[in-house]
Amino acid sequence: MIPATSGGAQRPLLVSRPSVRKDTIIDRRNIDVEVTPRRAVFEVHQLSKIYRMGDVEVAALRSLDMKLFAGELLVLLGASGSGKSTLLNILGGLDVPTSGTVRFLDHDLTSANDAELTRYRREHVGFVFQFYNLIPSLTALENVELVTDISDNPMKAADALAVVGLTDRASHFPAQMSGGEQQRVAIARAIAKRPDVLLCDEPTGALDYETGKLVLRAIDRINRELGTTTAVITHNAAIAGMADRVIRMTSGGIAEERLNAKRLSPEELSW
């Protein structure tokens, strides 16, 4: 089992670490999804994002309201252009909204400047991308170390690789690994810092069916075992089955929101 206590000396930050006691969130495989009271990690209010493309304004998000609760696994479904990536980018501190507010715990992301957003990403957010985005000149282990080097209370890089089952590939360079392996390294890299949230943008988009499942299993395991609040965006409706909660987006707004009565394990999914 991976040690999962939060701790270490806290520096005064723009965004303080959440006071969620991670060690209280245990394996919830058989626990009712309705955990009350639920603490919102993200609170999004009246969020709009408008891109200007030449003379045309494109609204990627239209007055969207949503929350992401501590410890839950949320799947954001939507076709391309539905605004799900824009939402994820804003939550992750990669982009800023045109209007509306985004609160991470008790801090406002909308008014943060670049340096503050950088610190926010560094200390609280783990990212997983469709195209892995590993550093080609670093080995699997070093790619994880890249993050643990700049974190306050990281896991051991080797432990993070163990979580995704890649201990034996530690000294391989990205060019020497399959897509699925690369994506799992990316996941290890994302979780090594013990992030408060794990944001995954089409994590299986570039992978085949079997490999995709392997990657989802890693995400599922991290959410369950480490209790990391996780948001996965995908256009693949089948993946919604592994979520606690599913939000379906169209045209920059929420079309449907539902709770899964039972969370399926990735092995039970099929598409």
Name the residues that contact another protein, by CB under 8 A: 85, 89, 92, 94-95, 114-115, 118-119, 121-123, 125, 127, 129, 131, 133-139, 142, 145-147, 149-151, 173-176, 189, 193, 201
- Closer by beta carbon to another protein, 201 or else 244: 201
- Closer by beta carbon to another protein, 78 or else 174: 174
- Alpha-carbon distance of 39 to 56, in angstroms, equals 39
Cβ of residue 173: shortest distance to another protein, in angstroms? 5
Cβ of residue 149: shortest distance to another protein, in angstroms? 6
- Closer by beta carbon to another protein, 195 or else 266: 195
Cβ of residue 115: shortest distance to another protein, in angstroms? 7
- Closer by beta carbon to another protein, 215 or else 269: 215
Q: Take residue 100 and report the two structure tokens written for it.
A: 């509306």
- Alpha-carbon distance of 165 to 222, in angstroms, equals 12
- Amino acid, res. 217: R
Instruction: For residue 124, give the nearest of 140, 99, 106, 139 by alpha carbon.
Output: 106
Q: What DSSP character marks residue 204?
A: T
Cβ of residue 133: shortest distance to another protein, in angstroms? 4
Q: Confirm if 130 and 165 have CB atoms less than 8 A apart.
A: no
- Closer by beta carbon to another protein, 108 or else 149: 149
Cβ of residue 154: shortest distance to another protein, in angstroms? 11
Say how many residues make up the chain: 271
The answer to whether the Cα torsion of 67, 70, 27, 220 is positive or negative is positive
